[in-house]
Each structure stands twice: as structure tokens, then as C-alpha cells.
Amino acid sequence: MLAPEDIPDHLAPATRAALSWINRERASDYSLTGMIGADELERTDEPFEFGLVLCDGEICAREQIRVTPDGEAYQFNFADEVEPDIPPLLDPPAGVRREWLDKQLGKHEFVVLLYYRGLW
């Protein structure tokens, strides 16, 4: 995963546009905290996909985005991954963290919580 400041220059415009598109589509105020799949993308003149790690308050999510270049702009769609390496919801839903943790402890002998770069 790349931090926002490490996103390659040739992907920065598409990444910013995708973030704006997601915020409009979801009526949210996500901020970008990372990008997944950038190391595989060298060309941006044909359709491509990347993952964005987004946070909005306490909730963080991963969105897989399909990008289609359209002149100087882009068209976006949410892409589905069969089994993503990073799950779409990166944090237990707000307000149910305790309930979620209790359920996990009921299924497993122990749970390790890792807090890294503002994410659980």
C-alpha cells in the first residue's frame, strides 16, 4: 500500500478524481489514506483498476475502482474483487466496536488489535 504522498505522479490526477467521485456517489467526506495496486500500473491511457483506502471519521474502507480514461477526464465504476487482499471494511462499524470485539473473541482464542497510521 502506498501512502498518499507516495502515489506516482502519473496516477495522481485519476486518484484525486476518483476520490471526488466516491464522495459524490456515497455522499461522504472520505479522505485518502492509501492506494493499492499502483505498482502494477504504468499506463493510464487505457482502462485500469486500483484500490483506494479511505477514512471518514472513525470508519475506514477500501474501494476497488475501475478507471476508464475519457479524453482529459475519467469515467469511474466500482469494481468487484472475488477475494480482496484487504477487506472492504477496515474497521468495525462505529458504535458497535465492543459488540464486534466480543463476537470475534467468541470465535477465536484471542484477537490482536493493531493501530497503525490512524487505522485499526
Q: Give dist(CA 101, CA 112) in Å, integer.
A: 10
- Is there a domain that residue 21 lies in? yes
**Cα-based distances in Å from 36 to 23, 62, 105:** 18, 9, 30
What is the full per-residue pLDDT of the chain (120 aa) written as tens digits? 888 999 998 899 999 999 999 999 999 999 999 998 877 777 778 899 999 999 887 678 889 999 999 988 999 999 876 455 555 555 555 555 667 777 888 898 888 877 655 455
Looking at the 3D structure of the chain, how many domains does it have? Answer: 1
Question: Model-level pTM greater than 0.85?
Answer: no
18 and 7 Cβ atoms separated by less than 8 Å = no
- Is there a domain that residue 105 lies in? no
DSSP 86: S
For residue 57, what are the domain limits? 4-91
Contacts of 84 (CB under 8 A, 6+ apart): 51, 62, 64
